[in-house]
Amino acid sequence: MNIDHVATVRQARRTIEPDPVWAAVEAQLGGADLITMHLREDRRHVQDHDVERVKSMCQVRLNLEMAATDEMVQIASRIQPHMVTLVPEGRLEITTEGGLDVAGQLAMTRDVASRIKDAGITASAFIDADEQQVNAAAEAGFSVCEIHTGPYASKRFETGGPLGSANFQKELHRVTECGKHVLGAGMRFNAGHALNYVNVGPIAALPGVSELHIGHSIVSRAVFVGIRLAVDQMKNLMVRFAGQ
């Protein structure tokens, strides 16, 4: 579970609640296998002390999303999350709008991935469903690729019957084929972004997918049912579809 938007609510009032650490506890009690936090350069939601406190109490793995900067590499090396996922950042974007351009920044991303691995941390790249980016991620030395499912999710509600529109099926095919390419390159296949209780099934059912990183949808449902139950409901969906 990505707990960023719990911090978003807190930062709206610059107060102490809701506490992302409490959210991480509840998420684990609901069955989350990994906690994700994105420490942005502008600190718009998660703060440095949030990552430090979650790392100190987390009983499952911690994934730190961050930009490929010297500052963030130094923070990750000090805090020691289990995994670092490099993501692009735009100061005016509401949320991450696309995958990291590893192919266009190969030398830089190779250097950052190497520094992350030298610190004893698993290096992951958040990329679009593009085989060129997968090839570049493998060349740069990443151990994991998280495939961006935003384009897939955006097509879910187009008219097209219960299985979605032709464009939805096209985007699902892109993620599927890209996942195969990730696995074929010897990397772990993760996926995430804009997944929710309606569209998660086909992604959870993909062969070889290891982790789905989901935040906004779970936090949104948690407003009404609580984090523990919201995580439990999502986990049950994922397990059910993965077993088909």
Q: Which residues are catalytic?
A: 38, 65, 193
Can you name the residues that pair with 126 across neighbouring β-strands? 146
State both tokens at 115.
Answer: 């520094």
224: left (phi over 0), alpha (psi -120 to 50) or beta: alpha
State both tokens at 118.
Answer: 């030298």
Q: Where are the alpha helices (DSSP H) in 80-161?
A: 106-118, 131-140, 150-154
CB of 30 closer than 8 Å to CB of 231: yes
CA dihedral for 135, 116, 6, 211, sign (positive or negative): positive
What single letter denotes the amino acid at residue 196? N
The H or E element that residue 210 is part of is: strand 209-213
Residues 6+ apart with CB under 8 A from 111: none
Can you name the residues that pair with 150 across neighbouring β-strands? none
Cα 160 to Cα 37: distance, rounded to the nearest angstrom: 35
